[in-house]
């Protein structure tokens, strides 16, 4: 296996690198992707003329467009990462299984912490607004759209932003564990729709999942396909029973 193999993680902050600088088209796609994702999902911005009833459709379309931009921006790296997976399928499955075990363990700790805080803090314990929005989307859109966007496109887009872009940028300038922690916490905050204490407590399990995805990303030498697959499976297990 080549020296770039994902099976033997390096100890540098971010070991995975593309062969050369991205093309102008790829750079433009990355810039629009980062700005678009930040505006639509971190800042919750939407067109001023969009009625409240159209917010769900806007979110679905935004994920689809951002997925295309991510492929346009990091297509070469994604193709190389896919090649490494197919070169060692059994190891790939083993890494994914290990990541799933770690994610379940960390999420379980997050759920316990969230439940404990909900029991001791006043006014805490309400359902996250994000989770309620997902429930409404499952009812409002056909199953194929829910599976295509909320189960596949959404998780891939989020991993491209939080792991491929954000964790990488932070780890390059600091340490891998800083990138894992910051990207994980911000991933949890993605699920907030207000600054209430209840929302802060409610996102703890999501932040724990983000940390687990970050660890998997770093341990597989920056192969974003691993946390993306983990995220897809996580959403599938949560959403499929409601379809």
67 within a domain of the structure (yes/no): no
Q: What is the pLDDT of residues 62-88, one digit of tens each?
A: 999 999 999 999 999 999 999 999 999
Q: For residue range 86-106, what is the model confidence (pLDDT) as tens digits?
A: 999 999 999 999 999 999 999
Evaluate whether residue 158 is within a structural domain.
yes
In the prediction, which pLDDT does 11 show?
Answer: 36
Contact 73, 194 (CB under 8 A): no
Which pLDDT value is given to residue 124? 86
**Residue 18 confidence class, pLDDT cut points 50, 70, 90:** low
The total domain count for the chain is: 1
Q: Looking at the domain assignment, is residue 196 inside a domain?
A: yes
In a domain, 231, yes or no: yes
| pLDDT at 122 (0 to 100) | 87
Residue 94's domain comprises 76-242
Report residue 1's pLDDT band, with 50, 70 and 90 as the boundaries. Answer: very low
The reply to whether 81 falls in a domain is yes
The reply to whether 8 falls in a domain is no
Residue 112's pLDDT band (boundaries 50, 70, 90)? Answer: very high
Please say if the pLDDT value at position 3 is more than 80.
no
Predicted local distance difference test score (pLDDT) of residue 126? 79
Q: Does any domain span residue 191?
A: yes
pLDDT value of residue 53:
83
10 inside domain: no
């Amino acid at each position: 296996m080549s020296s770039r193999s994902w099976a033997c993680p390096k100890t540098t902050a971010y070991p995975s690198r593309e062969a050369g600088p991205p093309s102008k088209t790829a750079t433009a796609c990355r810039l629009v992707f980062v700005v678009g994702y930040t505006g639509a999902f971190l800042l919750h911005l939407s067109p001023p003329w969009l009625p409240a009833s159209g917010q769900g459709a806007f979110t679905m379309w935004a994920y689809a467009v951002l997925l295309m931009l991510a492929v346009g921006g990091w297509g070469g790296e994604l193709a190389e990462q896919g090649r490494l997976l197919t070169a060692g399928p059994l190891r790939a499955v083993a890494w994914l299984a290990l990541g799933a075990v770690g994610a379940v363990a960390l999420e379980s700790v997050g759920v316990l912490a969230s439940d404990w805080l909900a029991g001791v803090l006043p006014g805490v314990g309400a359902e996250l607004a994000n989770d309620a929005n997902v429930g409404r989307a499952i009812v409002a859109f056909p199953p194929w759209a829910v599976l295509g966007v909320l189960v596949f496109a959404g998780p891939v887009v989020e991993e491209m932003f939080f792991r491929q872009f954000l964790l990488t940028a932070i780890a390059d300038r600091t340490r891998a564990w800083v990138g894992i922690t910051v990207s994980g916490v911000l991933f949890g905050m993605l699920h907030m729709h207000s600054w209430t204490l209840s929302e802060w407590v409610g996102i703890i399990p999501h932040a724990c999942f983000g940390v687990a995805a970050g660890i998997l990303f770093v341990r597989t030498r920056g192969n974003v396909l691993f946390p993306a697959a983990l995220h897809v499976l996580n959403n599938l297990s949560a959403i499929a029973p409601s379809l």
